[in-house]
Amino acid sequence: MMKILHLYYDIMNLYGDYANVAAMKRMLEKNGEEVTVDKLTLGGDIRFDEYDFVFVGSGTERNLRVVLEDLRRHTEGLKAYIDSGKTALFTGNSFEMLGKALCDSTGKTVDGLGIFDFTTAEQNKTRWTSDVIYSCDFLTQPLVGFVNKCSEIKGVSNAPFTAKMGLSNVDGDCKEGVRDKNFFGTHLTGPVLIKNPHFLAYLAEKVLGRAPETDYLTFERAGFDVTLCELSKRMGNA
Amino acid sequence: MKKFLTIFICKLLRFAGKLIGKGSSKPGQVALKLCPDILSRVQLPKYIIAVTGSNGKTSTVEMIAHILTQNGYSVAWNKEGSNQIEGVTTLVLGSATLGGKVKSDILLIESDERFARYTFRYIKPTHYVITNLYRDQLTRNGHPEWVYDALADSITDGTQLILNADDPLVSSFGHGRNNVVWFGADKLSSDTETLDSVYNDGAYCPVCKSPMTYTTHHYNHIGHYACTKCGYKRQNTQYTITSVDLEKGEMTIDGKHTITLALKSLYNIYNILSAYTVASIVGVDGAKIAADMNNYVLKNGRVITFELGGRQGTLLTSKHENSISYDQSIRVASACKDGCDVMFIVDAVSRKYFTSDVSWLYDIDFEMLDNGSIHQIVLAGKYVNDLAVRFSYTDIPDSKIKRFEDIGEAVDFLNSDRREYIYVITCFSDKGKFLAKVKGE
C-alpha cells in the first residue's frame, strides 16, 4: 500500500496542478501498487512520515501566505521527510515557502520555513510568464512546461534545472528550482508530470524503489514531442 | 489645434482602415502618440458605461447597445471589441466632433481587465459593470486575484459600480463601498447544492481567507456564499433573475419580465441580466428591455450553425485557456436529449500570442460528457495528444473517443451517414479551420 499526500489541494491548485497527483497515482497503480490519496488542507492533521509522495501546487500570492502560516507548525515534519530521502514535488510558487524569507510587493517580509537558504521577493507590476524548456543532468530529455509567477528567488545552492528557454529562479542566471535528495521544487505550473512522462517515471522510480513500467504513456510521449518541437521552433526564431 | 489635428488624423485613419478591412486599434495608437492626453481633452457625454470581466463582455456590451438604441438613445460603442486603450481611443475620437465633443448620448466601453487602469485614467466611467472574474488566459493574466488587483486600480470614487453579487471575488469590489448596484440570480431550478466543477475558486473568502460555505451553486463558484468567519456574504440584489427554465429556454427577471432565450445557457442569462440592469439604470422601462431581449440573437458570431453533408450542427465558440467558458459549452452539448456527437479542436492555443500551455484542459469539467446522449467524441488539432490524455482522466469510455491530429480528417470522419446533431467546441483561434470545411449559416 502506497500513500500520496495532496497537500493544500483546494487552495494551492491554480493551473490544474492536481493532475500531477492523478498521474503519480496512475503510475503507481499500473505498477501493481495499491494507492491511497489523502487530500489535506488548512488546519489538517499532517503526518508527513506516513507518505510515499507529497505534492503541493501553485497558489495566489495571498493564498501562499495563508498556507505558509499553516505549514509552519509542521516545519520539522517536512524537514524530516525531505532528509529521509522521500519523494516530494512542489510546483509553482509553493516551494518559495521553504526558503528563509518571503517578501511581498510592498516590501513586507515574513519568515519562511527556513528549510533552505534562499530568499524570495515578489513584485506586482508585471506578471512574468513563459513557456519553458529546462534541461537537467539526471534526465536524457529536457522538461517542457509553463512558468507563471511574479517573484524572483536568490540564494539557491542546489538548483536541479537549467533554463534553455524561458524564466529561471532569477533574471540573469539560468538555474531553476531547488532540489534536496528527492525533494523537487520548480516554478513549472500545471500538469508537470503529465507533460513530462520521463520526469514522472524518474520520480516514480524514487517512490517505488525500482524502475517502473511506463509503456502505457503513449499519448503523453506524443504530446511531449509535439510541445518540445513547437517550443524548439520558437526558441530557434528568437 | 493639436486636438483638432489628432482627432482628424484618427478619423482619417479609421476611415482608410475600414476600407481595407484593418482593425480598430491602430488609429487610436497613432492618436495617443500624437497627443498622449487626448482622452482628457474631449468632452464626454453624461453616461459613460464601462463593462469588464473575464467572460461575457462583448455579448453584454452588444446587448446594452441594442436595448439603448431601440429605445431612442444614441450609443457610441466598441463594436469591433478592440478593448485596450488604443481601441477605446479610436472609439472616442471616432464618435467626437472635430472640436472634441462626443456626439452620442451614451459612451459604452468594453474594456480589457488588465488595461482598464490605463484607459480609465482619462475616461472616468459613470457606471462600471464587472461581470465575473474567472481563470481566463492565465498565461497572460496570472490568476483571478492578480486581475482583481489590476482592476481595483481602475476604479475611482464617484463611479457607480454594478457588480455580479453571485461572484464572490467580483462582489468584494463593493465591500465597504457606497454607490454599488448588485445583480444576481435567486436559487434556480438548475442549481446544484454541491459544486460541480474540477476546482473551487469560491472555497475561501476573498476578504479574510477563511473557508466559505454555499447554500446554492448556479455554476462553478457562482452562487450564494457566506464566509464562516468574517461575515462577508452574497449581497441582496436590486436586479434579479427570479427563475429560469433552460429546457424551455425562458428566464424571468424580478418576478415579472419573462424573456425567451435564443441561446439556452446560464452564461447568456447573466449577460442579459447585466444588460437589463444597465438599461434600467439609464431609465428604460423593464418591460421594454424584456421585449428587446426576447429571442435576441447575438450578432457577434460566437454561436454558428452549420451543415456537414446531411448532418446539422452548432459551433459554440469557447475560449481556450478559459475553463468556465468550456464548461458552459459542454453543459449545452450534454443537455442535448436526442443524442449528439461533440468535437473539440485545440490547434493554436491563442490567436494573439504563442503558447503551448494546455494546463487549462485540466480545469475543464469534461466529465459532464459521460452520459448516454453523447455518442461520439472527436478530438482534433495539433494538441490532440494532450486532449487524449486529459480524456483518459475521465470516466468516459475510450470506445467513444476518436483522435485526429488533422482537422480535415476529423471533419471527414464526421461527414458520415450518422444522424446525430454535432456540437463543435473550440476557440476563435481554431474555429475558422473547421468552418472552412463546412457549409455555414
In tens, the pLDDT along B141-182 reads 999 999 999 999 999 999 999 999 999 999 999 999 999 999
Q: Which of A10, A150, A227 lies nearest to residue B203, judging by beta carbons?
A: A10
A78 vs A121: CA distance, rounded Å: 23
Which CATH topology does B303-440 take? Protein-Tyrosine Phosphatase; Chain A (3.90.190)
User: Residue B441 — very low, low, confident or very high, per pLDDT cuts 50/70/90?
Assistant: low
Q: Across residues B315-333, what is the average pLDDT?
A: 94
Q: Across residues B358-368, what is the average pLDDT?
A: 97
- Sorted by where each begins, the domain ranges of chain B are 38-293, 303-440
Question: Is it the case that residue B1 has pLDDT exceeding 80?
Answer: no
Q: Across residues B412-437, what is the average pLDDT?
A: 94
B38-293: CATH homologous superfamily?
Answer: Mur-like, catalytic domain (3.40.1190.10)
Give the nearest chain B residue to A16 (CA atoms): B362
User: Residue B24 — very low, low, confident or very high, per pLDDT cuts 50/70/90?
Assistant: confident
Residues of A in contact with B138 (CB under 8 A): 14-15, 148
Q: Across residues A3-27, what is the average pLDDT?
A: 97
Q: Across residues B207-221, what is the average pLDDT?
A: 96
Of B14-28, B165-179, B262-276, B377-391, the least confident: B14-28
Q: Across residues B368-384, what is the average pLDDT?
A: 97
pLDDT (0 to 100) of residue A225? 98
Judged by a CB distance cut-off of 8 A, whether residue B392 touches chain A is yes
Mean pLDDT of chain B: 93
User: Residue B15 — very low, low, confident or very high, per pLDDT cuts 50/70/90?
Assistant: confident
User: Residue A194 — very low, low, confident or very high, per pLDDT cuts 50/70/90?
Assistant: very high
**Percent of chain B whose pLDDT exceeds 90:** 76
CA atoms within 13 A on the CB side of B405: 7
Question: Is it the case that residue B425 has pLDDT exceeding 70?
Answer: yes
Q: Across residues B276-295, what is the average pLDDT?
A: 97
End-to-end Cα, chain B, rounded Å: 49
| Preferred mutation among A58, A227, A231 to probe B, highest tally of B CBs within 10 A | A227
Q: How many interchain CB pairs under 8 A, A with B? A: 102
Which CATH topology does A2-237 take? Rossmann fold (3.40.50)
- Sorted by where each begins, the domain ranges of chain A are 2-237
DSSP state of B191: -
User: Residue A106 — very low, low, confident or very high, per pLDDT cuts 50/70/90?
Assistant: very high
What are the cell numbers at B267? 452564461
CB contact under 8 A, B356 and A144: yes
Question: Is it the case that residue B229 has pLDDT exceeding 80?
Answer: yes
CA torsion angle B149 B135 B58 B90 (round to 10)? 50
A60 to chain B, closest Cα gap in Å: 7
Judged by a CB distance cut-off of 8 A, whether residue A50 touches chain B is no
DSSP result, B98-154:
TTSBB-SSEEEEE--TTTHHHHHHHS--SEEEE----SBSHHHH--HHHHHHHHHTT
More confident residue, A67 or B32: A67
Judged by a CB distance cut-off of 8 A, whether residue B146 touches chain A is yes
